Structure 1
Amino acid sequence: MNIELAMNLPLTDIEFVQREVTLNEILRGTMMDFQSIHIGVKNKKTGTIYPCIFTSFIKEIYENDISSNINTLAKVAGNVVAFLNFIIDRIQEHDELFVGIKAVKDIKAVHAAKFICYKTAQGLQRRTVRGYGGTLLSFFQWLKDKGYSDEEVVIRWVERARTVDRKKEFYKTPLAPFKQYGANYPTKKTLKPTKEKLKDFGDEDDDERRKMTEYLINLSRDIAPEIALGLCLQFYGGLRKGEVVNLTKAEFNIEYRRSMEVMIRDNRALLFSRLIDTKKENPKRLSYLNTDLARQTIFDTNLVWDVYDEHFRNLDRLRGEGRLAVTTAVFIDNNGNPMSAKVYEKRFMKVKKAFIRSLRGHKNYDLFNGHVWNTHIGRGVFTNFLVSMNFLPAQIAIARGDRNLNSALDYIDKAFTKKQIREAVNELKSVKTGKFGYIDIADVKQFVETKWGDTK
């Protein structure tokens, strides 16, 4: 079904949606599964989702780009879906600018400009709104190239400079897409007040960072013990929630009470076949590291081992009672199914609320209550543990399992000079892939025993 056919249905009955699908493709003689994002038209009365021509936009422009992962595809598709549903809403509201839209060819740049104004009025960040603008600019260009529209969007280019390998180079970038059609982008006046994102638990105080981390994990042992081990892996190993929920027992490479390492795998087909959409369960690291080389060393403190023992004792009990839907799963929900990322997040929020509530009157209450933070805070805390180990920028990126410094810069730019960061960027180019996520066990042992007094 395309948009023309969709418009023949009552507008109250349809909406555009995005969904993740698993596709099969033969690569080098082997049948492989891979995830993709499709755009569809949903009949809200029947729940039926029909294919839509706009999926080709995602596939042709973004899916074949080696730098695009499933999250990038989902974001782009979400931007297009939001725009199309905005058009439907405006038609239903009898907006005179939109009521004449009957087919794809009727969608014009001025409609995109109105959509951008709408997003700006919602108080969104400039970067977010520019993301919508950039996607729609590519979308209109694709429509024109495919012959679906004769709308030629006028682009105003601006020349900017950047430094690469100590050399200044110039490049052109579109200046605020659709601005010449009336689009307004966010300013300080339009931005809604937002809480600052919390990136660390200790504010450069390693002892406080450790105590707060231990307190949160111990609280989880009481309130949501089913995710306590996951928090250990996030705060003491920097795993993302998608990497955590994908774990099976086979991914734990341990020398009991001496060292712990986990392999990062994409087990979605095994664990989450019941889910329609598994974007949140996506193990992001596998988008830039080979499966056989994606691993992560864990700071195996006594607390980590205690939680590990408790978690697997409970798993053994549930397995013995026949309550596990997938016997190899490590994280389980109340129904015995492998725990989804959504459920993991809910459990975390339950722990977070209790954590903040218990800190009333504590010196750190405002820090935790006045900032935005979620499960990803574990990766930030882990990064700052690495900083306190006196790791250099390149060592930090390697220990986090990062191929570049971009994602770690938020945490390390204050701790290191520009020269050190520049040197690290060059150093990372020559690091063998198998080194990412690895930390020398001797370094871990010295750190937790000497600085934390945590002896086994």
Structure 2
Amino acid sequence: MIRYSTQQVNAKLFNTYSEENKNTVMIMEKDVDTGVWMPSSLTHYIYAYYSNLAINTQESVGYLICDFMNYILHQVELGEDRVFDNLKSEGLYGLNFLHGAKFLHYLSNEKPRKVKGTIVLGNNYKTVMRKQNELIYFYDFLRKKGITNEYMQVEFEVGEKYTMPGYKSGSKVTSKGKKVLINPFDDCGVDITYPSKDSKSIGARPKLADMRKSDWELLLEVAEEETPDIAFGVAMQFMGGLRAGEVVNQVLSSYKVDKKGDKILLDIQDRQGWLFKNRGIKTDKSQVKKPRKDQPVFDFNGQLFNLLEKHLNYLKDRPRNNTRALFVDLNGNAMAGEVYHTRFAFLKECFLQKLAERKPALAKDYKENYKWGSHIGRHIYTNYLIKTGLCNDATGKPSAQILANLRGDKSLNSAYEYIDRIAVLESIQSRLEELSRISIET
């Protein structure tokens, strides 16, 4: 019995000018009965569209392909649905749009998943749409490679919107006036019952989108006391919007201090080959999504330079195994992203205990009603830029382009979402204040 799975591998990749060792994702075919496995040719889909993107993105795509292939194999083995009978003799060459539509219906209504310890069925609407878009391009890839028959040609039209491979999953690509693939599952003879657009993951907690300044300042204070190894890194996330992978890729020579400008400038580059690869560890949480120079970390709380000085003094007292990394683990090696996330999880617990002494209701709210980790720093940084006007253009209004540049984003989508959300909140607050004034006057 064959089943598909993904696996991270460190491979030597070649291009026209050079070769490099790089962590990448491979799709494997495994004989469950014997334990024997071999690389699948379907891996070429990931290489074709995602080889230059983050390992997490590659894994997400790989999981979908494996899910789809395992679903098909399971249906063939069950022999209960005649739609899959042709695959017994034709293999993937007999794959058609009915099979994809059946899979999407399964994702929407039947696929089990665990939410807060409870097994529930189906994915939410946004997740199914993202996977459907990916599946369309996977079908197109199979046809172009001659793996499926000529009748499985995916058609084009002009002016729709789809998530294109090569972009972060879930991002929106406006393709008005351009050729895009038509959804071939809409009219293939299978009624797909999609989740409601308003549905949310059952039992799932929303992500925490912001903190009050006094709260994140307390978190930094706790970091200095409980996790001095990452305190400066947390400050860079809160006041520079860095991702965790960008923090651990910093070295002693990658920052410049600009005290007159109340900021530190960072050279953010992917230094995994230098810092981590020779140790044979997983680096999926140690990646840099967008290399860039002069990323500003602002002194929002008047303590940034003190935190830097304390961090450098901390490093002097630590053993170092021939590394120039700005952050080291307890063994003196360059700190990997996995370790950084573990340390932040410990910091989070310490912070919530401290906050509970002062604001027990708020601490309970942060703990029980929201999901958050080190990425909260990036949210705080973004919101602070908008609220304080640091990303305003000449007209005095928030600029998506300026905000995206300050965040180190590849596209403007996230910036627009933040600006729209802040605008709505400010509008509501303004209206409440107006209503309060009217009620007092009357």
- Please give the TM-score of this superposition, normalised by the length of structure 1: 0.71
In structure 2, the CA distance between the partners of 1:30 and 1:16, relative to structure 1 (3 Å rule), is: closer
Offset, 1:344: 1.7
Q: Which whole-Å deviations, capped at 9, do the CAs of 1:198-234 have from their partners, x for residues lacking one?
A: 2111xxxxxxx22111111122233333221111010
Structure 1 position 364 matched with structure 2 position 362: yes
Report the Cα offset of residue 403 of structure 1. Answer: 4.8
Judging changes above 3 Å, is the alpha-carbon distance between structure 1 residues 374 and 91 closer, same or farther for their aligned structure 2 residues? farther
Give, in whole Å, the separation in 2 of the partners of 1:268 and 1:43.
Answer: 33
Counterpart of 1:222, as a letter, is: E
Give % identity.
27
Question: Aligned pair in 2 of structure 1 residues 151, 219: CA closer, same or farther (>3 Å)?
Answer: farther
* Contact residue 8 and residue 23 of structure 2 kept, 8 A: no
Correspondence list, 1:186-225, <5 A: 186-187=195-196, 188=198, 191-201=201-211, 209-225=212-228
Amino acid across the alignment from 2:310: E
Change over 3 Å in CA distance of 1:176–1:212 after alignment to 2: farther
1:86 aligns with 2:71: yes
Which residue number in structure 1 is paired with residue 171 of structure 2?
Answer: none
CA contact (8 A) 2:100 2:185 kept: no
Partner of 1:240: 243
Match of 2:327 among 304, 326, 331: 331
The answer as to whether partners of 1:155 and 1:177 remain within 8 angstroms in 2 is no
Distance 2:264 2:182 in 1: 48
Q: 1:345 to 1:69 in 2, by over 3 A?
A: closer
- Aligned partner of 1:132 in structure 2 is 131
Matches within 5 A, 1:52-451: 52-60=40-48, 62-63=49-50, 71-88=56-73, 94=78, 96-97=80-81, 101=88, 103-105=91-93, 107-121=95-109, 122-150=121-149, 152-153=151-152, 174-175=182-183, 177=185, 180=188, 181-187=190-196, 188=198, 191-201=201-211, 209-254=212-257, 259-273=263-277, 274-275=279-280, 277-286=282-291, 293-300=292-299, 301-319=301-319, 324-360=320-356, 361-362=359-360, 364-365=362-363, 367-369=365-367, 370-390=369-389, 391-392=391-392, 393=399, 394-416=401-423
1:110/1:182 contact within 8 Å kept: no
1:169/1:150 CA distance change after superposition, 3 Å: closer
Partner deviation per Cα, 1:111-140 (whole Å, 9 max, x = no partner): 433332332233422121122222222222
Deviation at 1:53, TM superposition (A): 0.8
CA contact (8 A) 1:117 1:184 kept: yes
Over 3 Å counting, the alpha-carbon distance change for 1:193 and 1:177 in structure 2 is farther
Q: How far apart in 1 are the matches of 2:11 and 2:256?
A: 29
CA distance in structure 2 between the partners assigned to 1:210 and 1:77 by the alignment? 40
Change (3 A) 1:148 1:155: closer
Structure 1: give runs of 5+ residues left out of the alignment: 1-9, 163-167, 202-208, 287-292, 418-456
Cα deviations by residue, 1:126-176 (Å, 9 ceiling, x for unpaired): 1211222222222223223322222745879898678xxxxx869766448
The C-alpha deviation readout for 1:281-318, integer Å capped at 9, x for no partner, is: 210112xxxxxx52311123543333323322232222
Gaps of 5+ in 2: 110-120, 162-175, 393-398, 425-442
Q: 1:271 to 1:396 in 2, by over 3 A?
A: same
Deviation at 1:95, TM superposition (A): 5.4
Aligned pairs, number: 380
- Structure 1: which amino acid aligns with 2:303? L
Whole-angstrom distance in 1 between the partners of 2:381 and 2:374: 12
* Amino acid aligned to 1:411: Y
Distance 1:225 1:47 in 2: 45
Cα distance in 1 for residues equivalent to 2:199 and 2:414: 29
Distance 2:411 2:377 in 1: 19
Q: Is the CA contact 1:109–1:151 (under 8 Å) kept in the aligned structure 2?
A: no
Pair 59,172 (structure 1): closer, same or farther in 2 beyond 3 Å: closer
The secondary structure found in structure 1 opposite 2:148 is coil
AA matched with 1:185: Y
CA 1:135–1:218 in 2, change beyond 3 Å: closer, same or farther? same
Q: Per-residue deviation at 1:343?
A: 2.2
Give the TM-score normalised by structure 2: 0.73
Name the SS for the 1:337 alignment partner: coil
Contact 2:248–2:337 (8 Å) recurs in 1: yes
Kept in 1: contact 2:323–2:334 (CA 8 A)? no
